[in-house]
A and B are shown apart, each in its own frame.
Chain A
């Protein structure tokens, strides 16, 4: 099983590496967005307060987009059918993709984080590597979300429509721009069920209050649970015997 996971991860990495334009976009686009945020929020205090939450959003957004579209292409170009007729299991495919995309999600996360810390020069508290580990957890969630939702799209255009449906509402509801407790009660209730709420709470606690991973156990547990459930659901969507 493990060798199949490595084989699939290796292939998904090979695919992205050979697509140089995509690689360039993976690195450049988050930096452009981070720069725009940095320039548009010249007040350092506001920037320091806002950027940690926006980092969580960007990691979720780019990870979701990358994994969702890549996984969807597996179906649209017919290779999923071929894989499902082979001896690989659903777990091999899901974990293989997770591993492959995770490397790119980590790359994006690191580039984005170091850029905001060393170039935009935001002030933050907390341990750098613990913050990075938490961001990687958000990246894992993003990859799982992308793989799961790709099951509901038939083409890239439909996949992109999930951004205004899944990502943007979370930006408004989950405390990225305004604290959750300033919103109407029913929106606060919805926010409790959205993963980005825990991503934002966790990253703010670490970067603004100097807390460590051990202090944000609840956020880590919720994000990890979301990732596991989404992976299980993605596995169900890949059932052998249901490839049409």
Chain B
């Protein structure tokens, strides 16, 4: 049985002359939460788009659940883009129901049951029949998450899922993400906050399209070699000391 969810070899990508992903190689095991950490413009979103198949690599390769990304692999993937990306005229229910249908939940009863289930899960039951345009930013994020998970995918890509969420909701999201990985799902989460990083079982630090460090949060903190090091300290350490990922691999 293949235990790798994502396999990336010598991946590079550029927009025109701007190199956005620079020779990235990476393996992500199944059943963990994996963080892509970096400041804005580090290449996190582009890397996710390459893994999902929205972008084609200029050089190198991406294997998603053992195959190059395609509409066939997409059925097993959930994707939550950085922006809420919802149909603002439609209700919460209609948005989630649409994505449930697109991902192959055809049987009426099963689909209805699952849509109701995820609406409750993201705590939006009272807003079920409200237009998305009338929701707050945090609520839209929740609907967006619900659309990504409605088909119960084994592999989930979440691009900055906690942006705009209040601290309570952020905790709620991470509790749910923890439940998903415990159930064997793989989560790939991008973020620029160290609070999110601490929740990941494994993560990379990215800068200017390169992976500058890879390891568990403890390994990354430990690589600094000082007591009481935070992940933020570790991130700054790796940025200042260049590409030293071999320290923690």
Contacts and interface: CB of A to CB of B under 8 A. Distances in A.
Interface of A: 3-4, 7-8, 11, 14-16, 18-19, 77-79, 81-89, 240-244
Given A82-B147, A85-B54, A240-B71, A4 B87 contact: no
Contacts of B101: 3, 7
A15 B101 CA distance: 16
Nearest to A83: B102
Contact of B83 (A78, A87, A241, A242): A78
Interface of B: 15, 49, 52-56, 70-72, 74-75, 77, 79, 81, 83-90, 94, 98-99, 101-104, 106, 131, 147
A19 B94 CA distance: 14
Nearest to A239: B56
Given A15-B90, A78-B81, A85-B52, 18 more contacts: A11-B90, A11-B94, A14-B90, A18-B131, A19-B89, A78-B85, A79-B85, A82-B99, A84-B54, A85-B53, A85-B74, A85-B81, A86-B99, A87-B72, A87-B103, A242-B56, A243-B49, A243-B54
B102 A242 contact: no
Contacts of B71: 86-89, 240
Contacts of A79: 85-87
B56 A241 contact: yes
A86 B84 contact: no
Given A77-B85, A82-B147, A18 B90 contact: yes
Nearest to A4: B102
B102 A87 contact: yes
A243 B94 CA distance: 25
A223 B134 CA distance: 42
Contact of A88 (B84, B87, B88, B102): B102
Nearest to B91: A18
Given A86-B102, A87-B102, A244-B55, A18 B89 contact: yes
A241 B55 contact: yes
Q: Which 10 A-B pairs have the closest CB atoms?
A: A78-B85, A241-B56, A243-B54, A85-B79, A7-B101, A78-B83, A18-B89, A87-B74, A87-B75, A82-B85
23 contacts: A11-B90, A11-B98, A14-B94, A18-B131, A77-B86, A77-B88, A82-B79, A82-B99, A83-B102, A84-B54, A85-B74, A85-B81, A86-B71, A86-B74, A86-B99, A86-B102, A87-B71, A87-B75, A87-B103, A88-B102, A241-B56, A242-B55, A242-B56
A3 B101 CA distance: 9
Contacts of B72: 87
A148 B94 CA distance: 27
Given A15-B90, A244-B55, A82 B81 contact: yes
Contact of B53 (A88, A89, A240): A240
Given A14-B94, A241-B54, A81 B81 contact: yes
A240 B49 CA distance: 11
Contact of A86 (B56, B87, B88, B103): B103
Contact of A243 (B15, B55, B83, B90): B55
A22 B15 CA distance: 37
Contacts of B86: 77, 79
A176 B85 CA distance: 42
Nearest to B131: A18
A25 to B, nearest CB: 14
Nearest to A12: B87
Contacts of B15: 244
Contacts of B84: 78
Contact of B85 (A7, A14, A81): A81
Contact of A81 (B54, B70, B98): B54
A120 B98 CA distance: 42
A83 B106 CA distance: 17
B22 to A, nearest CB: 18
Chain A CB within 10 A, most for which of B54, B90, B99, B147:
B54
Given A14-B94, A82-B79, A244-B15, A77 B87 contact: yes
A83 B54 CA distance: 10
Contacts of A8: 102
Contacts of B99: 82, 86
A78 B54 CA distance: 12
Nearest to B106: A3
